[in-house]
C-alpha cells in the first residue's frame, strides 16, 4: 500500500505539536498562554533530565553542544558556545510559529529554558532577541549562566 505525502500534514511530531499550539492560541488567545507555557515547561524538564543522563557533565557548553545537534544545520547556526553563554540563530521555527506572535514564541520557548535549567542550572537565563514568530528574519536566542552559579 502506497501513501502519498499530504503537504498539509505536519512532517514530524514537533510540527504536529506546533499545530496544536497554534490552534489552541487561535481559539483562546492570550488566555491560553499560561497553559502553553506550563505544559511546554514540563516537556523541557523531561527532555533536560534525559539529556543530562547521557552527557559527561552538566556544563552549559556540554549541554548546548548536545542541544545544537538536534537542529537542522540548513536552518540554524550556532553563534557561540561557552560555559557561561550559548547563542543560536535559526531561520525556521521547528514548531511552525512563523508570523504568529512573540508572546506565543516566548510561551513555547519555555521548553528550551526548562531544558537548560534542568540540565545545567536554575540560574540559566534566556533572552530572545528576535523571533520569526514576530515576523523577524531569524530567531536569535541567547542562554547565559552567571559566573559562580551552579
Cell, residue 51 = 539529556
Query: Per-residue confidence at 29, pLDDT binned at 50, 70, 90?
Result: very high
Q: Is the CATH number 2.40.50.140 carried by domain 14-144?
A: no
Cα 85 from Cα 19, distance rounded (Å): 31
Cα 150 from Cα 134, distance rounded (Å): 33
Cα 81 from Cα 48, distance rounded (Å): 17
Query: Per-residue confidence at 1, pLDDT binned at 50, 70, 90?
Result: very low
- On the question of pLDDT at 2 being above 60, the answer is no
Query: Per-residue confidence at 73, pLDDT binned at 50, 70, 90?
Result: confident
Q: Which helix (H) or strand (E) holds 127?
A: strand 125-130
SS3 content of the chain, % helix, strand, coil (to 5): 45, 15, 35
CA distances from 129 to 78, 94, 139, 142 (A): 15, 17, 7, 8
Cell, residue 6 = 499530504
Domain boundaries, the chain: 14-144
Amino acid at each position: 500500500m502506497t501513501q502519498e505525502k499530504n503537504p498539509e500534514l505536519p512532517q514530524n511530531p514537533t510540527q504536529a505539536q506546533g499545530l496544536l499550539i497554534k490552534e489552541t492560541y487561535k481559539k483562546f488567545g492570550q488566555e491560553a498562554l499560561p497553559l502553553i507555557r506550563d505544559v511546554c515547561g514540563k516537556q523541557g524538564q523531561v527532555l533536560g533530565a534525559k539529556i543530562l543522563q547521557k552527557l559527561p557533565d552538566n556544563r552549559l557548553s556540554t549541554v548546548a553542544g548536545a542541544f545544537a545537534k538536534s537542529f537542522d544545520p540548513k536552518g540554524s547556526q550556532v553563534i557561540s558556545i561557552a560555559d557561561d553563554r550559548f547563542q543560536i540563530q535559526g531561520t525556521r521555527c521547528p514548531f511552525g510559529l512563523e508570523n504568529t506572535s512573540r508572546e506565543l514564541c516566548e510561551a513555547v520557548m519555555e521548553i528550551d529554558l526548562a531544558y537548560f535549567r534542568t540540565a545545567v542550572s536554575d540560574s540559566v537565563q534566556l533572552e530572545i532577541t528576535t523571533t520569526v514568530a514576530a515576523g523577524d528574519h531569524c530567531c536569535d536566542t541567547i542562554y547565559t549562566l552567571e559566573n559562580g552559579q551552579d
